[in-house]
């Protein structure tokens, strides 16, 4: 008798979890709609010119995605970071 009660409880918890999980799933693209298409731009700039380069890119409609230091050197000895690589995106017309 206890075994059947345990199975019933597990069943109810499973049903509740399934209904909650279905709300967390990203919906598929609907037919007849077009997803946003992007173009990307990556550039390398000296540390002193990073702000200017980002302002220029922003004025042209680019949205910053990432900025990383462009390290120079070997795996054992890294030279001071003097350059940065940045990537940006903007929607295609």
Domain map (residue ranges) of the chain: 2-91
Q: What are the C-alpha distances in Å from 92 to residues 13, 34, 35, 36, 88?
A: 46, 12, 11, 8, 13
Check if the beta carbon of residue 28 is closer than 8 Å to that of residue 81.
no
| The pLDDT of residue 1 is above 60 | no
Check if the beta carbon of residue 88 is closer than 8 Å to that of residue 66.
no
Residue 88 phi, psi dihedral angles, 5° rounding: -140, 165
* The predicted structure's pLDDT at residue 65: 95
Rounded to an integer, what distance in angstroms lies between the CA atom of residue 36 and that of residue 43? 23
* The predicted structure's pLDDT at residue 11: 78
In this prediction, residue 60 has a pLDDT band, given cuts at 50, 70 and 90, of: very high
């Amino acid at each position: 008798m206890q075994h059947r009660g345990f199975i019933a409880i597990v069943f109810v918890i499973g049903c509740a979890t399934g209904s909650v999980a279905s709300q967390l799933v990203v919906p598929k693209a609907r037919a007849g709609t077009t997803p946003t298409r992007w173009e990307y731009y990556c550039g390398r700039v000296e540390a002193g010119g990073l702000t200017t380069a980002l302002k220029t890119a922003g004025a042209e409609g680019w949205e910053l995605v990432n900025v990383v230091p462009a390290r120079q050197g070997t795996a054992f000895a890294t030279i001071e970071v003097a350059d940065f690589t940045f990537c940006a995106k903007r929607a295609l017309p």
